[in-house]
């Protein structure tokens, strides 16, 4: 009886059962934890693999489409696996509203330019000026062929392949047809025509076809008399409105001679290209343009001289003859006067930058003078603004400014050389002043110099000349070749 009693009182069997239950529970908990934290990662890895597969297919599509657009083949088909996503051909009005390219040409000497300049990096910032003299516009719709699944988008647009992540960030998978070598812009714009879509899990074919007859948009004087090569405007601004605008901008910024900014509110990349004005010797007019100078050169100007011929019997006797230009907050003035004698012209050079302060003016008076040769209507004078022997003395004229604010390490208001200037005791050559101030003045863009000869300008502009030769900023555009290449697209 004691044995039976001990058997029923024993807890060994209960301990084994509890141990098994605990082990089983821990296993389930571990598996649940693994599934809880690993499944999203596994799904993400699966989605990434699928997206990469689509990106590879679109890269092949890009290559084949180039053959169609550039005339190597009339038709090409590329197959893509949908894998639960959808493909849309957006080559209609709705698609064009979200994928287009606008090019404007700008004359920086136009009266409206200063106000336009403040808003030129905004989509449609040109609208109020497009009918003004000095601006022209032409635009081309692009359209897209777009694969989408959940929040991931992959698309063919503008001759390139783009991918947009759920975070909203876009990247370039294959480069677009945008070619710029610092002198020539070649831009075959791919315009997609069509409106079709398909979704599911099967493989589908995307077919591109073309008549291989691109439309030449630039140069084309039939469409616009100013669409000539070399480019005659002062700036070329390209606006790319796209779902992938930020990736477009990043791509352009990888180019050596181009840069882009973005208008996030309007999903637009903005590319601004400077045009180098004509150089050499030409008849003098009441204005002339100087392109942005090469900032890496200590003396980028090679020739900056004037041959002034008298217009009247009184000869060259200006009471005030100003040659001046402004760029943003900066102003440079060469002031000539006949006050030192009957046969000489005195020179004063003034540089001002209101960004440094309202009274920050650097004022230089000529120690030397420019001689006037001949008399009456035969009078003439040669002005060489790069004369190393023509000395100028610093003269503060009570302006109160730090006399060497622009002669310092590179900043928003200064560039080297770094000099300490003493009032009335510092002398530089005219070449030193011209090289220094012209680099500062053109650090952002080209400038327009104006001439004010006073109430009775003594200069004969039909006989006077200007010679201007310099090293422009690398990447100034000279030629453009832009075409529109129509592509018929269908997905089935």
Q: How confident is the model at residue 389 (pLDDT cuts 50, 70, 90)?
A: very high
Residues 224 and 292 in one domain: no
Q: Are residues 157 and 295 in the same domain?
A: no
Q: Are 154 and 161 in contact (CB under 8 A)?
A: yes
Q: Is residue 430 part of a domain?
A: yes
Q: Are residues 291 and 339 in the same domain?
A: yes
Q: Are residues 450 and 483 in the same domain?
A: no
Say whether both 193 and 287 belong to one domain.
no
| CA atoms 440, 323, 285, 383: torsion sign | negative
Mean pLDDT of 77-104: 95
Together in a domain, 286 and 259: no
Nearest to 318 by CA among 383, 387, 390: 383
Residues 191 and 312 in one domain: no
Q: Structure tokens of 176?
A: 């677009």
Give the model's pLDDT for residue 422: 77
Instruction: Give the pLDDT mean for 329-334.
Output: 96
- Residue 7 lies inside a defined structural domain of this protein: no
- 382 compared with 342, residue with greater pLDDT: 382
Pair (248, 355) in one structural domain: no
- Residue 85 sits at φ, ψ, to 5 deg, of -105, -165
Residue 83 within any structural domain of the chain: yes
Q: What is the dihedral of CA 37, 41, 43, 44, to 10 degrees?
A: 150
Least confident piece of the model among 65-69, 188-192, 346-350, 366-370: 65-69
What is the pLDDT of the chain when averaged over all its residues?
89
Instruction: Note whether 312 and 453 are same-domain residues.
Output: yes
Residue 429, domain member (yes or no): yes
The mean per-residue pLDDT over the stretch 188-200 comes to 94
Q: How many domains, in total, are found in the chain?
A: 2
217 with 250, same domain: the answer is: yes
Q: Is 410 domain-assigned?
A: yes
User: Can you give the residue range of the structural domain that contains 269?
Assistant: 71-275+478-491
Predicted local distance difference test score (pLDDT) of residue 43: 47
**What's the pLDDT tens digit per position in 254-301?**
988 889 999 999 999 999 999 988 899 999 999 999 999 999 999 999
- In a domain, residue 66? The reply is no
pLDDT reported for residue 473: 87
pLDDT at position 361 over 80: yes
Decide if 462 is inside a domain.
Answer: yes
Sign of the four-CA dihedral 316, 432, 416, 272:
positive
pLDDT tens-digit series, residues 167-181: 889 999 999 989 999
User: What pLDDT sits at residue 39?
Assistant: 47
Query: 421-473 pLDDT, tens per residue?
Result: 877 778 999 999 999 999 999 998 899 999 999 888 999 999 999 999 999 98
Please check whether residues 181 and 296 belong to one and the same domain.
no
Does the predicted model carry a pTM greater than 0.85? no
**Same domain assignment for residues 372 and 319:** yes
11 falls within a domain: no
């Amino acid at each position: 009886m004691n044995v039976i009693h001990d058997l029923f009182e024993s807890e060994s069997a209960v301990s084994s059962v509890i141990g098994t239950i605990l082990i089983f529970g821990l296993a389930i908990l571990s598996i649940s934890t693994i599934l809880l934290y690993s499944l999203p990662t596994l799904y993400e890895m699966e989605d990434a693999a699928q997206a990469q597969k689509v990106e590879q297919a679109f890269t092949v599509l890009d290559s084949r489409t180039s053959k169609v657009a550039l005339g190597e083949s009339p038709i090409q088909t590329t197959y893509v696996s949908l894998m639960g996503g959808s493909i849309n051909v957006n080559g209609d009005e709705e698609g064009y509203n979200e994928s287009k390219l606008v090019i404007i040409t700008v004359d920086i000497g136009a009266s409206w330019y200063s106000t336009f300049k403040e808003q030129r990096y905004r989509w449609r910032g040109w609208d109020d000026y497009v009918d003004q003299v000095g601006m022209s516009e032409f635009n081309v719709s692009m359209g897209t062929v777009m694969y989408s699944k959940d929040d991931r988008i992959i698309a063919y647009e503008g001759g390139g392949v783009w991918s947009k992540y759920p975070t909203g960030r876009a990247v370039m998978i294959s480069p677009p047809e945008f070619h710029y070598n610092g002198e020539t812009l070649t831009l075959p714009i791919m315009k997609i025509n069509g409106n079709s879509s398909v979704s599911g899990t099967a493989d589908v074919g995307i077919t591109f076809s073309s008549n291989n007859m691109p439309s030449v948009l630039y140069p084309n004087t039939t469409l616009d008399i100013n669409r000539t090569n070399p480019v005659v405007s002062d700036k070329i601004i390209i606006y790319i409105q796209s779902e992938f605008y930020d990736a477009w901008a990043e791509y352009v910024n990888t180019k050596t001679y181009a840069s882009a900014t973005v208008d996030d509110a309007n999903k637009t990349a903005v590319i601004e290209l400077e045009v180098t004005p004509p150089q050499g010797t030409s008849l003098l007019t009441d204005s002339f343009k100087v392109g942005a100078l090469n900032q890496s050169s200590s003396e980028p100007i090679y020739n900056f001289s004037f041959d002034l011929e008298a217009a009247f019997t009184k000869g060259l006797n200006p009471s005030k003859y100003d040659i001046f230009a402004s760029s943003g907050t900066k102003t440079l003035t060469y002031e000539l006067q006949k006050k030192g004698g009957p046969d000489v012209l005195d020179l004063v050079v003034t540089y001002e930058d209101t960004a440094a302060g309202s009274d920050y003016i650097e004022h230089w008076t000529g120690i030397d003078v420019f001689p006037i040769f001949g008399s009456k209507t035969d009078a003439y004078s040669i002005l060489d603004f790069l004369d190393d022997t023509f000395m100028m003395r610093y003269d503060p004229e009570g302006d109160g400014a730090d006399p060497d604010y622009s002669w310092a390490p590179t900043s928003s208001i200064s560039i080297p050389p770094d000099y300490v200037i003493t009032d009335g005791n510092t002398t530089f050559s005219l070449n030193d002043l011209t090289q220094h101030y012209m680099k500062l003045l053109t650090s952002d863009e080209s400038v327009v110099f104006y001439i004010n000869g006073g109430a009775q300008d003594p200069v004969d502009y039909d006989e006077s000349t200007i010679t201007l030769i310099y090293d422009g900023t690398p990447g100034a555009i000279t030629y453009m070749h832009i075409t529109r290449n129509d592509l018929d697209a269908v997905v089935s």
